[in-house]
Chain A
């Protein structure tokens, strides 16, 4: 690696030139060492574009690892809590992984790239853990975060936009499927994946051809066919909570970074029991998870709808108005489409049961005057919002 310029604290993704042009707010956040847009113009417009037309989000900074070698699949199956032994070439699956104490280190996705091995996408830096975990396996592990650029194209017209941009073969691509194709003579990989809960795709490209990909997609807008809006982290946060996706580091502290005992979380505590298998060979954390499963639940990260229109940011939760404190809100948004406050919240369970009543004490201010109120909360077992267009194959045009 070259000596770097210390004056450029955050790096630019291959799409930065275009992102910079389109950013009217110049509102940035750091993400894995990259400079990423928070909002391009207005948050409401970006949010509604995800749910009504087509959006583009630059996911290049997402951590990516390439795992190859004869033992690659065995290694991955030993790493994650889900049974991935039947993952087929050209398919993607959601996974989480734990340390020996059954505490979640991170979550992400595994892409079966056929002869090219596997790509593991993660929220946080995992190379150290992957290397530690790979002892005894005949695998090679390469970090490829900076060697692969990606755009997430999401929204009801994302299929139409990508078709119009010149990608063929998408009509048969099912959710969690992978398609290797070309766009303007550039090799791209398209996966029907995303973090919005809507119809959408992620397009992966060699960083050198990033601009070609970006321009091919946005040419659809220039030709007046479909509107396309670049979106930032703030709109993504709204739609991922609506879709019920958890965010390590925001909704819970990962086991490697947790300093205080009992501040880390197990997959059960995060509502990920569906991604924990006991019908597969030994994997890291299994023993602890088996033990935990046999005991009543202590607490859960839950999806919570909060009554009223006052945002329950950082609110404590109680089992009654002025009752016992039983938890806290981790992240929350106002959902414009549901006209409701939605939150991810940590809740203590009693005797393995969720509390029958949950109340949030909400502090809010109007013109710098602080007020407080109580709002009843409801646990949502399903994603707050879903739409069948997400999984229709072939997708609808609009």
Chain B
């Protein structure tokens, strides 16, 4: 096997993005993937004949348009179609419809509360303020506030400058926003229970926190700051499923001369004299490289594929205590036809978006209570989408593919998962949906039920945490993954991290991959191929 300039471990979207920018700078790059297929958590898999399952990540919003453009992903086959609609179904038979037409949406909020319809204007504007502040830092390396280096000082100054562009009262509000629970935050705007429940969902997705836990307001921002073609807060479906994202990046990477090897699990990063020299595969094969980049989460990187003797004690300690709790499950379903939702009018556009069945903050908090006791939620929060309504490539004509994200699902169901428990978890979810769609069960042709266990085993995310680590203030910006290690450089020379464990965190965004590439190219004194933020103003 030849030597490479760089090896990237893990062919998830961040690994591939990182590799593509390195290849674009002229490096000879190899991406290694343990599975027989690439994509990590951005995959489309034919688990039932004729159906493509986006069986992990399922919607696309964050993916940085700068990266999309720089890697020419459109010509490499990526197409993200904005999704519309969405609804929260209520136990009393009513619903809140999140219509895409602003005038209709406003009337629908008014139907639940006239005041909330006006408060929504304040809510949207406020959220946009925080989004604007954060978005400018997605494609930037976080400064080290304890460093006296010129670059860190300048970056920190630009962070402060952005912050002080807010008005005095906005600064206070922003600090509150970062530390509040989503329930408390929404209560400052809305009075209708179903409206609060609908808007709080994005705050708990993927997070081992409840709607009343401090810090969850920020997670909402993390889900709201994405955009599709400049429409901030909107979500999209990748045509062909989420696998299209990783396929397009891989195609771009290969066109730049990169190599991808699947079915090649890395067992160790080789270190010689405080410098990474390559990797050892599970097969025993060794490949040398000047640079080794890990797309694995921080825990897996430092505790699984690095030798403890090569690491400072601090890193081992930090990695062991890294918060990466598994709290989400996934049920992916092939349907024989479009299910009925009797609460909706005939031909309603609401099924085109995210559907939820939790109509109060209290029910959401109870769902969290179950998880704390190592049980899956008996009344879970689900985020259900039916992308085959848009995308003809996902299921045969007239049939549908349903993706159901489930919050909460524990890593260890009281005494450990068994096949029966996994099925019972799936049934809980399907039963909840069936309460609002009586023919749903009859239409099921195949269902894949994934607990954090399966997600961890197949994708490699520790505890199945979709963000590669909780998005709480203690693990954000210059603290992500660990204080002093937020600039994508590992503790040994030539070793880097490019996964979502790093700034700016999880979501199919590509930013950690691109940011890591910038730092690697900088160290190698190569031309920076990573894109700058488009900027908002």
Q: Is the CB of B115 within 8 A of A128?
A: yes
Closest to B127 in A: A259
- Tell me the bound Cα distance from A1 to B109 in angstroms: 10
With both chains docked as a complex, state the minimum distance between the C-beta of A132 and any C-beta of chain B, in angstroms: 9
CB distance A101 to B167 under 8 Å? yes
- Residues from chain B with a CB closer than 8 A to the CB of A125 are 117-118, 121
- Is A352's beta carbon under 8 Å from chain B? no
Considering only CB atoms, which chain A residue lies closest to B188 in the complex?
A132
A256 and B125 form a contact (CB under 8 A): yes
Asked whether A128 and B122 contact (CB < 8 A) given A4-B104, A143-B114, the answer is yes
- In the complex, residue of chain B having the shortest beta-carbon distance to the beta carbon of A34: B103
Give the total number of A-B pairs whose CB atoms are below 8 A apart.
67
Most chain B CB inside 10 Å of its own CB: which residue of A5, A124, A256: A256
Q: Does A30 contact B (CB under 8 A)?
A: yes
A233 CA / B121 CA spacing, docked (Å): 24
> How far apart are B235's CB and chain A's nearest CB, in angstroms?
20
Asked if B129 contacts A259 (CB within 8 A), the reply is: yes
Closest Cβ of chain A to B107, distance in Å, is: 5
- State the CA gap A101–B169 with chains docked (Å): 9
Q: Please tell me if the beta carbons of B125 and A259 are within 8 angstroms of each other in the complex.
A: yes
Task: Contact check, B114 vs A127: say whether CB atoms are below 8 A apart.
Answer: yes
Of the four ranges (under 10, 10 to 19, 20 to 34, 35 or more), the interface on chain A belongs to: 20 to 34
Closest A residue by C-beta to B101? A9
Does chain B have a CB within 8 A of A257? yes
- Residues on B with C-beta less than 8 A from A4 are 104, 107-108, 111
In the complex with contacts A4-B107, A256-B121, A127-B132 CB distance below 8 A:
no
Report yes or no: B121 in contact with A257, Cβ–Cβ below 8 A: yes
| A6 x B99 contact (CB < 8 A) | yes
B106 in the interface (beta carbon within 8 A): yes
A129–B115 alpha-carbon span in the complex (Å)? 9
Judge if B396 is at the interface, Cβ distance under 8 Å. no
Question: Assuming A131-B115, A261-B165, is B122 touching A9 (CB within 8 A)?
Answer: no
B residues in contact with A9, CB < 8 Å: 101, 103-104
Question: Please, which residues of chain B bring their CB within 8 A of the CB of A131?
Answer: 115
> Of all chain A residues, which has the CB nearest B347?
A7
Interface of A is mostly: loop
Name the A residues within 8 Å of B115 (CB-CB).
127-128, 131
A142 to chain B, nearest CB (A): 9
**Separation of A124 and B104 alpha carbons in the complex (Å):** 17
Q: Which residues of A contact B118 (CB under 8 A)?
A: 125-129
Residues from chain B with a CB closer than 8 A to the CB of A256 are: 121-122, 125
Q: Measured between alpha carbons, how far is A42 from B116 in the docked complex, in Å?
A: 40
Is residue B349 within 8 Å, beta carbon to beta carbon, of the partner chain? yes
Residues of A within 8 A of B166 (CB): 261
Residues of A within 8 A of B492 (CB): none
- Report the bound CA distance from A125 to B125 in whole Å: 14
A6 to B121, CA, bound (A): 20
Cross-chain contact B537 with A260 (CB below 8 angstroms): yes
Q: Tell me, yes or no, whether A10 is within 8 Å of chain B by CB.
A: yes
Shortest CB-to-CB span from A22 to chain B, Å, is 23
C-alpha spacing A30/B108, complex, angstroms? 17
Bitwise interface map of A from 231 to 266 toward B, beta carbon under 8 Å scored 1, else 0: 000000000000000000000000011111110000
Given A127-B114, A128-B118, A257-B125 contact (CB < 8 Å): yes
How far, in Å, is B512 (CB) from chain A's closest CB?
Answer: 27
List which B81-119 residues lie within 8 A (CB) of chain A: 97, 99, 101, 103-104, 106-108, 110-111, 114-119
Q: Which residue of B lies closest to A125 (CB)?
A: B118
| Nearest CB on B from A296, distance (A) | 20
Residues of A within 8 A of B167 (CB): 101, 261-262
Q: Smallest CB–CB gap between A382 and chain B, Å?
A: 34
Chain B's closest residue to A128 (CB) is B118
Question: How many angstroms between the C-alpha atoms of A260 and B348 in the bound complex?
Answer: 36
- Say if the beta carbon of B170 comes within 8 Å of chain A: yes
Chain B residue nearest to A255 in the complex (CB): B125
Let me know if B125 and A261 touch, CB within 8 A.
Answer: no
Q: Does B345 contact A (CB under 8 A)?
A: yes
- CB-defined contacts of A33 to chain B, threshold 8 Å: 103, 106-107
* Given known A6-B348, A261-B165, contact A128–B119 (CB-CB < 8 A): yes
A388 within 8 A of B: no
Residues of A within 8 A of B349 (CB): 6
Asked if B128 lies at the interface with its beta carbon under 8 angstroms from chain A, I say yes
A30 to B105, CA, bound (A): 14
Of listed A6, A258, A262, residue having the most chain B CB within 10 A: A6
How many angstroms from the CA of A180 to the CA of B282 in the assembled complex? 89
Chain A neighbourhood of B97, CB < 8 A: 6
Measured CA separation A267–B183 after assembly (Å): 35
Residues of A within 8 Å of B121, CB to CB, are 124-125, 128, 256-257
At the interface, yes or no: A3 with Cβ under 8 Å from chain B?
Answer: yes
Residue numbers in B under 8 Å from A260 (CB-CB): 132, 537
Nearest CB in chain B to that of A257: its residue: B125
CA distance A131 to B101 in the complex (A): 26
Interface flags, A39-73, vs B, CB<8A=1, else 0 = 00000000000000000000000000000000000
Chain A residues whose CB sits within 8 angstroms of the CB of B111 once the complex forms:
1-4
Q: Indicate with 1 or 0, residue by residue over A1-42, a CB within 8 angstroms of chain B CB atoms.
A: 111111101110000000000000000001001000000000
When the two chains form their complex, are residues A30 and B348 in contact, meaning their CB atoms are under 8 A apart? no
Return chain B residues, CB-CB under 8 Å to A10. 103
Q: Mark B404-424, 1 if CB is under 8 A from A, else 0.
A: 000000000000000000000
Within 8 A of B (CB), among A82-106: 100-101
CB distance from B145 to the nearest CB of A (A): 23
**Do A3 and B110 touch across chains, with their CB atoms under 8 A apart?**
no
A30 touching B125 in the complex, CB below 8 Å, given contacts A1-B110, A101-B169, A127-B114? no
Q: A129-B118, A256-B122, A261-B167 are in contact. Are A3 and B345 (CB under 8 A)?
A: yes
A101, B170: Cα distance in complex, Å:
11
Distance (whole angstroms) from the CB of A134 to the closest CB of chain B: 11
Q: Which of A2, A4, A100 has the most chain B CB atoms closer than 10 A to its own CB?
A: A4
Contact string against A for B residues 327-352, beta-carbon threshold 8 Å, 1 for contact and 0 otherwise: 00000000000000000010111000
Minimum Cβ distance to chain A for residue B314 (Å): 40
Contact residues in B for A124 (Cβ distance below 8 Å): 121
Structural contact, B128 and A259, CB atoms closer than 8 A? yes
A337 to chain B, nearest CB (A): 35
| Bound-complex Cα distance A127 to B118 (A) | 6
Known contacts A101-B169, A127-B114; A30/B103 CB under 8 A: yes
Closest to B95 in A: A3
| Structural contact, A6 and B345, CB atoms closer than 8 A | yes
The distance in angstroms between the C-alpha atoms of A2 and B110, with both chains bound, is 10
* Contact flag A261-B170 (CB < 8 Å), given A3-B345, A125-B118, A128-B121: yes
Which A residues are CB-close (under 8 A) to B103? 9-11, 30, 33
Name A308-330 residues within 8 Å CB distance of B: none
Give chain A residues whose Cβ lies under 8 Å from the Cβ of B165: 261
Whether A6 contacts B104 in the complex (CB less than 8 A), given A101-B167, A127-B114, A259-B132, comes out as yes
Q: In whole Å, how far is A52's beta carbon from the nearest beta carbon of chain B?
A: 35
User: For window 125-147 of chain A, which residues contact chain B by CB distance below 8 Å?
Assistant: 125-129, 131, 143
Assembled-state Cα–Cα distance A3/B108 (Å):
8
Question: Could you tell me the distance between the alpha carbons of A101 and B165 in the complex, rounded to whole angstroms?
Answer: 16
B residues whose Cβ falls under 8 Å from a Cβ of A: 97, 99, 101, 103-104, 106-108, 110-111, 114-119, 121-122, 125, 128-129, 132, 165-167, 169-170, 345, 347-349, 537
Residue pairs across A and B with Cβ atoms less than 8 A apart, 30 shown, are: A1-B110, A1-B111, A2-B111, A3-B345, A4-B104, A4-B108, A4-B111, A6-B101, A6-B345, A6-B348, A7-B347, A9-B101, A10-B103, A11-B103, A124-B121, A125-B117, A125-B118, A125-B121, A127-B117, A128-B116, A128-B118, A128-B121, A256-B121, A256-B125, A257-B121, A257-B125, A259-B125, A259-B129, A260-B132, A261-B165
A11-B103, A33-B103 given. 11 additional CB < 8 A pairs? A6-B97, A10-B103, A30-B103, A101-B167, A125-B117, A125-B118, A126-B118, A128-B121, A258-B125, A259-B129, A261-B165
10 A-B pairs with least C-beta separation: A128-B118, A128-B119, A125-B118, A127-B118, A33-B103, A1-B111, A259-B128, A9-B101, A261-B167, A127-B115
